[in-house]
Amino acid sequence: MTQFLDRHRQLKAQVDERLAAIYPEGPHLLVEPIKHVLSNGGKRLRPILTMLSAEACGASPADALHAAAAVEVLHNFTLVHDDVMDRDNIRHGQPTVHTVWDEGVAILTGDAMFINALAELRLNPGDVEEMSSVFIRGALAVCEGQALDKEFETRNDVTRHEYLQMIDLKTGHLLGLAAELGAIVARAPAGVIACLRNFGQLLGRAFQIQDDLLEIFSDTATMGKSLGSDLVAQKKTYPVVAAAEKAQAEVKAALEEAGTDLDSGMQTLRRVLTESGVKAGAEEEIERTVGTALDELRLLGDKATSIKLFADLVLNRKK
């Protein structure tokens, strides 16, 4: 794992260098916010998965660098707009775009980032038409997932099945896209491309459930972003939906408490989730989902070693 972590850092450095070169010139109110977002030092999980996927299929990770950067720009575009909708003030340990500038600039920044993501994708060698098709499909899926996320805010009867469908769109499709693009760059057979896409989508599901847990059981300093906004906005998360099936009255009371006293409400919710077994159940769901994701890699054999180590890194993250 130590050797893989060193390699992970090397790939991240390559992605960071490429992101720094995106949109260097233009109006100040676009150049500076985009630079603010793309220089934030995020984990770069999605672009690294693109590069590892390409490598597993016989290409060089560098061959997929433009596709990897495009995925990361797309991901960050969605975060800029999400932060406006959720009124989050911190992202990756720094003020969000609408906090530093205003909501209008944030919306315009996100729009420009999406266009730059498409432009970056076209710089990658390979079947540009196929890559563009899956890229657009993945981008639309993320928007559809966000729409369902907003819709669920006004519903108290969201089931776990519905919730999983939503995060499969909002989070899973983007990681699936990342893995799929790497395989396309490497001109992998259709069956291999499908397996890597399925792996990424399942890993994205596990990632989001884990993120939902960290939203409640971690802290702002560790996560580097605002916490508790999802609860205040009545957003549905995996532990909240699962707990409502077992202890609906207690969960409702905790959320109402969080609306007036966030820290106290969070403490109450942590107790309810722990005592009801929901926290342990969510952790088991993460492990099962990652196990299913890893099964998708069997077709690649030993070539998938780095991707498996990547999945282990994601599963054991603390932020």
Q: What is the pLDDT of residues 148-166, one digit of tens each?
A: 998 998 888 889 999 999 9
> 70 lies in which domain range?
2-315
State the total domains in the chain: 1
pLDDT for the residue 97:
80
Owner of token pair 């975060």: 79
CATH assignment of the domain containing 134: 1.10.600.10
Residue 287 half-sphere exposure, CB side, CA atoms within 13 Å?
Answer: 6
Residue showing tokens 């995106």: 22
pLDDT band at 1 (very low <50, low <70, confident <90, very high): low
pLDDT in tens, 62-113: 999 999 999 999 999 999 898 888 788 888 778 888 988 888 988 999 999 9
* 318 has a pLDDT exceeding 80: no
Q: Where are the alpha helices (DSSP H) in the chain?
A: 2-20, 28-38, 45-56, 65-86, 97-100, 103-121, 128-152, 160-167, 173-185, 190-217, 220-223, 229-232, 238-260, 262-275, 278-295, 305-315
- Beta bridge partner(s), residue 95: 90
Structure tokens that stand for 308 in this block: 């498996």
218-276 pLDDT, tens digit per residue, is 776 555 545 566 666 667 899 989 988 877 788 778 878 887 888 888 888 898 899 88
In angstroms and rounded to an integer, the radius of gyration of the C-alpha atoms of the chain is 19
The three-state secondary structure class of 233 is coil
Place of tokens 């890597």: 196
Q: How far is 127 from 236, CA to CA, in rounded Å?
A: 38
pLDDT averaged over the chain?
88
pLDDT at 319 over 60: no
